A and B are shown apart, each in its own frame.
Chain A
Amino acid sequence: MLGDHRASWQSASPYLDTALELPRAERAAWLAGIRQRTPELADQIAHWLARCEALEGDDFLEGAATIEPARSALTGLQLGAYRLTEPIGHGGMGSVWLAERSDGRYEGRVAVKLLSAALVGRAGEERFSREGRFLAKLAHPQIAHLIDAGVSPIGQPYLVLEYVEGQTIVAHCDAARLGVSDRVRLFLDVLAPVAHAHANLIVHRDLKPSNVMVTRSGQVKLLDFGIARLLESDPQQPFLTLTLDGDALLTPAYAAPEQVNRGDVSTATDVYALGVLLHVLLTGRHPAEQVLDKPSELLRAIVEDDPPRMSDTVATATRDGGTALASAGVRDTTPMRLQRSLRGDLDVIVATALRKSPADRYASVTTLADDLRRHLARQPITARAATTSYRISRFVARHRTGVAAGTLAIVAVLAGLVGTITQARRAEQESGRARQEAESAREERDRALAAQRIQRGTNEFLQLVMRDAASDDPGALRRQLDRTSELLDKTEFESPVVKIGLLRQTAARYGELAAWREGLALMHKAQALVQGPELAGPTSAIPVNLACSTARYAYEMGDLPGAMAELERADRLMTQGADVGVPSRVECRLYRAYVELALGQFARALTTTTGALHALEASGTRTGEQHRIMRSAVARTLMSVGRTADALAIAKPLLVESEAGQGRQSMAVIRRSVLTTMVLRAGGQPDAAFTLADLDRAAVARIVGPTRRDLQTDLELGRVLMAVGRHAEAAGVLERAVQAGRAAGPALLLAHTELAAAEALVAANQAGRAQALLATSTVVIATASADRPERIEALRVRALLARARGDTALSWQLLDQAQLQADANGGNGHPSTLEIASLRAAMALEDRQLDVALAACERALTAARLWAIDKERSSDVGRLLSLRARIHGALGQGEQSDADRREACQVSPQTCAQHK
């Protein structure tokens, strides 16, 4: 046995010296270099190196051999006024004895700590006397106090301490089956004496369950300042620090990273240990539970691994074999409830205490205590805000170096492809590059790894940014995004691919908040990074995807020609061989449909969306978010040509589905709700529409914050209010929306909102305000070509306004123009036809041009019936039947007038009631 490894040792030994001086991370590469020349030697070195590394933290040959007398020999030893009765502990510094007063003056028992003779005259003695000095200084009811100190006849120093009878805090809590809140309250009692020590510049350095006792009367007592240290006060430093003096004293399970690394110890070191203690108290599990029994792994984990979220650990079994049920049981709860009560604040508090860098932890024990008290009082804790920016900065730091290899795969990932690897490989084959099999296998693995990394990274990023968004703080998402894009600006990434991905994701989040201007800026930054043959080559999907996404932003900004140009460019690249998957193609079609809708090309838009949905389903995708988005788009385009019943048949189940999955918590769900509202209103069911619009108003305030507005929701709410006759309210909502939209908002939507606001103001008898509003309207309306929907709407609204101001001639002139344009762009199917015709009818009736009125009313009625979800139940049809009744009345056709009135009552009871 001995001889076996001797030869191996002799050849490896000199190399070991070199290897051990290298940082761990570099050893493998160094070894690989040797392996190339002499593989056998490399094996031997690797063997010994592995053993050296495995022994790190192991207790093999730890400590020192010493000659000790039998412990029983000390029993009865007289030290000052005390006689040792029985040993109660034996530690690194010596032994601890239970003792009693020999002169009978004092009944109580005490603990005597006796320094091992082996340490007399050495560092141990200094440490021992230090503990005595500290305890003398730290008079606190919750710190086991010093009663006496002295030196034994043979020169062994000893300390006489208060004897604490009780249990460790963990045993106490479990025995009493304390619940989470009670445990937190008891833990606050631990913080008080620690804070007291810190105030005296003393850091404990060894906080762990066995040093935190609870007496029978329930009082927390802190023990063992054996390795406590006095801190140097330095006003320049945020923490009081000391440099560790070579002694490796630490309890690995409760050691902070800086203790393992022999860095500066500070009050933050105690904060860390307290974090571990709190974790153990609350969950029954150590943060590094998995590796707790492997010392070297544990030390590495303390320095390197972010512990899992505390609440996620309670579903697992404990290290000592306890089940999740049992550990919840001693907390007087169930695993699921325990998880719920830990999730959120307590997770954040423990994670903050356990940060790797002392500067990232709670600045003091007192701030930790404050957050716990806030949590108990259900007030917002301070650590939350810091947590998100901390997470983002950690994320960016980790991805700073970027990804070096496998660009093709990355291209595929960015394209949002599912079959990443196959796609990449096919592209490679098509480009005709022959490769050795082994090489391609390795590359494939590299690509897969790189792809995985990016996918993981961007997913993580999304979660990062989204995590706090839906929670209690409504404006949080927006602030997160601003911080993130600032961070992206400042950070240099080695690989542009990662940065492009992040820019795109961040832009998309802005998009969800309708902050298109910010999103477009990020997209331009992303496009500027697409350079070189791998990113911008003919088969690359990146330029295509970026072009399509950018089109979306340009569209929302009101730049329809710009958007169309990007889409045409994308089409061109796809025809030229860009390898773009179905999902990305479908997305491009979606944006095209948006642009077509905005241009008033309704029929074409419908063809585009139905085509895209078919393509998606043909590729096998019949579920998922993209499928839902496309269904929504089909519904939208169906509605735009007046097929409201078909639209509703898609929109309503879609809304129910999305809401079931996510609740009314994301803008995606709100959009679907707004779409349904729109279909209901346009389809002549404004009451049902109003119910939804009201829900959306509240949900949006939660998501974007009470001070920000979502234009689309407001516009729809305003229109619905108009449709149910609440004109003044509509005017209020729409005017505020215009104000917000003019500050920052999508241009097209703003134009429509301005027009709706003006219409509402006229209806609310505020023509002056309407006039002022239109006079300051955006450029989009003035510059858009005459057949654009918003231009036609503008003509109609201006006609309304002119009429209200008594300018009948102008009013007719504008209305004729509007009718002409609507007829040229869809006729009865055009969304404006119904309102134009019904306005013409009403005006003609007032002007006593009864034939014109009747003809216009018929026209409007036809349009209303076309648009109605249900011809027999439509407020629009009802309203127009009432109008026709009045026209018939004016014409002296009483019978027809009565018939109209009866029909109106059937089709729309509300209208009927209004007339009576």
Chain B
Amino acid sequence: MPLPSDSTLALLFSSLEGGDAEAGSALFAALYTELHRIATRELARNGWGVSLGATSLLHEAYIDLSKRAGTAFPDRNRFMAYAARVMRGLIVDYARNRQAVKRGGQFELTALSTDALNVAAAVEPEELGRISQALDDLSDIEPLLAEVVDLKYFCGFSFEEIAAMKGLSDRTVRRYWVKARAYLHASLRGPIPPE
């Protein structure tokens, strides 16, 4: 896929916000390419390998793109909202590729545990795929809930960061998270077994 020009990206953003639904998939593709390029670059730069956090990747991408596109580029918050969905796609694909291609053992996908239990729960690529599918489903009926999951789980943003980004209260973001989790859990796991 050819690299879109920087002005194209800015244009796609404004078209999308202007109500052009077609622009959505084009923007997704463009951003995907961009994030993949930056991820490859970062991993190559540190030849011996280092874990690549989604957040730092997104920051990197934003700085890269906004520098090149100038003032027409959307602000950071709006950018993240779009990019989060793209990031999810990237991560799911990496996980699948790793399975299919085993690219030199270069990538390893783990959930970065924050519960200090010293147990990093490894997430199966199939599971990631199912989560992504259920999220798309949720996105149809409650896009905001899906977005919170993208930002939190796939991009690693904290509740506070998400709240600031979306102009919501911390409490509301946490409630959305609880709801979304319940929905996704139902999609993935089915009914709760009686205790």
- Pair from one complex: yes
Report the minimal beta-carbon distance from B52 to chain A, rounded to whole angstroms: 4
Which residue of A has the minimal Cβ distance to B108? A68
| Contact with B186, one of A5, A59, A64, A154 (Cβ below 8 angstroms) | A5
Is A67's CB within 8 Å of the partner chain B?
yes
Contacts A2-B134, A48-B182, A69-B49 given: A63-B116 contact, CB under 8 Å?
A: no
A1 B187 Cβ-Cβ under 8 A: yes
B181 A55 Cβ-Cβ under 8 A: yes
Contact residues of B between 71 and 117, Cβ < 8 Å to A: 91, 94, 105-117
Mark A219-234 against chain B: 1 for CB-CB distance below 8 A, else 0: 0000000110000000
Cα distance A251–B120 when bound, in Å? 14
| Contact with B153, one of A13, A52, A54, A65 (Cβ below 8 angstroms) | A65
A227 B106 Cβ-Cβ under 8 A: no
B56 A6 Cβ-Cβ under 8 A: no
Report the minimal beta-carbon distance from A435 to chain B, rounded to whole angstroms: 35
* B126 contact set on A, CB distance < 8 A: none
A156 B50 Cβ-Cβ under 8 A: yes
Is B158's CB within 8 Å of the partner chain A?
yes
A71 B182 Cβ-Cβ under 8 A: no
A62 B175 Cβ-Cβ under 8 A: no
Contact residues of A between 1 and 58, Cβ < 8 Å to B: 1-2, 5-6, 9-10, 13, 16-17, 20-21, 48, 50-52, 54-56
Report the minimal beta-carbon distance from B62 to chain A, rounded to whole angstroms: 13
Mark A665-688 against chain B: 1 for CB-CB distance below 8 A, else 0: 000000000000000000000000
Cα distance A252–B119 when bound, in Å? 13
Is A533's CB within 8 Å of the partner chain B?
no
* B118 contact set on A, CB distance < 8 A: 89-92, 210
**A contacts with B, residue count (CB < 8 A):** 61
| Contact with B113, one of A17, A20, A63, A226 (Cβ below 8 angstroms) | A63
Cα distance A89–B117 when bound, in Å? 11
| Contact with B54, one of A9, A59, A61, A64 (Cβ below 8 angstroms) | A64
Is A244's CB within 8 Å of the partner chain B?
no
Cα distance A71–B107 when bound, in Å? 9
| Contact with A77, one of B48, B52, B131, B178 (Cβ below 8 angstroms) | B48
| Contact with A118, one of B154, B156, B158, B178 (Cβ below 8 angstroms) | B156
Is B149's CB within 8 Å of the partner chain A?
yes
| Contact with B114, one of A50, A60, A120, A249 (Cβ below 8 angstroms) | A249
Cα distance A133–B149 when bound, in Å? 34
* B54 contact set on A, CB distance < 8 A: 64-67, 118
* A50 contact set on B, CB distance < 8 A: 192
B56 A52 Cβ-Cβ under 8 A: no
Contacts A66-B51, A206-B116 given: A121-B56 contact, CB under 8 Å?
A: yes
Report the minimal beta-carbon distance from B164 to chain A, rounded to whole angstroms: 12
A68 B115 Cβ-Cβ under 8 A: no
* A20 contact set on B, CB distance < 8 A: 175, 178-179
* A6 contact set on B, CB distance < 8 A: 137, 141
Report the minimal beta-carbon distance from B158 to chain A, rounded to whole angstroms: 7
| Contact with B53, one of A54, A74, A118, A153 (Cβ below 8 angstroms) | A118
Cα distance A153–B187 when bound, in Å? 43
Contact residues of B between 139 and 156, Cβ < 8 Å to A: 141-142, 149, 152-156
* B160 contact set on A, CB distance < 8 A: 246
Is A123's CB within 8 Å of the partner chain B?
yes
Is B33's CB within 8 Å of the partner chain A?
no
A64 B175 Cβ-Cβ under 8 A: no
* B131 contact set on A, CB distance < 8 A: 61
Which residue of A has the minimal Cβ distance to B59? A121
Is A70's CB within 8 Å of the partner chain B?
yes
A154 B46 Cβ-Cβ under 8 A: yes
* A824 contact set on B, CB distance < 8 A: none
B111 A72 Cβ-Cβ under 8 A: no
Which residue of B has the minimal Cβ distance to A246? B160
Is A250's CB within 8 Å of the partner chain B?
yes
Interface of A is mostly: mixed
Is B190's CB within 8 Å of the partner chain A?
yes
| Contact with A67, one of B94, B183, B185 (Cβ below 8 angstroms) | B94
Contacts A70-B106, A251-B117 given: A65-B128 contact, CB under 8 Å?
A: yes
* B49 contact set on A, CB distance < 8 A: 69-70, 73-74
B186 A65 Cβ-Cβ under 8 A: no
Contacts A59-B121, A251-B116 given: A69-B106 contact, CB under 8 Å?
A: yes
Mark A84-126 against chain B: 1 for CB-CB distance below 8 A, else 0: 0000011110000000000000000000000011111111000
Report the minimal beta-carbon distance from B129 to chain A, rounded to whole angstroms: 12
Is B11's CB within 8 Å of the partner chain A?
no
| Contact with A10, one of B52, B59, B121, B141 (Cβ below 8 angstroms) | B141
* B28 contact set on A, CB distance < 8 A: none
| Contact with B154, one of A64, A89, A120, A153 (Cβ below 8 angstroms) | A64
Which residue of A has the minimal Cβ distance to B104? A70
Is A248's CB within 8 Å of the partner chain B?
yes
Is B31's CB within 8 Å of the partner chain A?
no
Report the minimal beta-carbon distance from B96 to chain A, rounded to whole angstroms: 13
Contact residues of B between 164 and 195, Cβ < 8 Å to A: 170, 175, 178-179, 181-187, 190, 192
Is B9's CB within 8 Å of the partner chain A?
no
B116 A91 Cβ-Cβ under 8 A: yes
Cα distance A73–B94 when bound, in Å? 18
Report the minimal beta-carbon distance from B115 to chain A, rounded to whole angstroms: 6
* A248 contact set on B, CB distance < 8 A: 114-115
* B112 contact set on A, CB distance < 8 A: 63-66, 92, 116, 118-119
| Contact with B184, one of A56, A61, A116 (Cβ below 8 angstroms) | A61
Is B3's CB within 8 Å of the partner chain A?
no
Cα distance A719–B54 when bound, in Å? 93
* A60 contact set on B, CB distance < 8 A: 181, 184-185
Given contacts A9-B186, A67-B109, A119-B112, could you give 19 more A-B pairs where the C-beta distance is less than 8 Å? A2-B187, A52-B179, A60-B185, A64-B54, A64-B154, A65-B91, A66-B52, A67-B52, A69-B107, A70-B108, A73-B49, A92-B113, A92-B116, A92-B118, A116-B112, A118-B54, A118-B56, A121-B59, A122-B56
The 9 closest A-B pairs by CB, nearest first: A118-B53, A69-B49, A73-B49, A64-B156, A68-B51, A63-B111, A67-B52, A51-B182, A68-B108
17 A-B interface contacts by CB (under 8 A): A5-B186, A21-B175, A59-B115, A61-B153, A62-B113, A64-B54, A64-B112, A65-B123, A66-B54, A67-B52, A67-B91, A67-B107, A68-B109, A73-B106, A92-B113, A116-B53, A246-B159
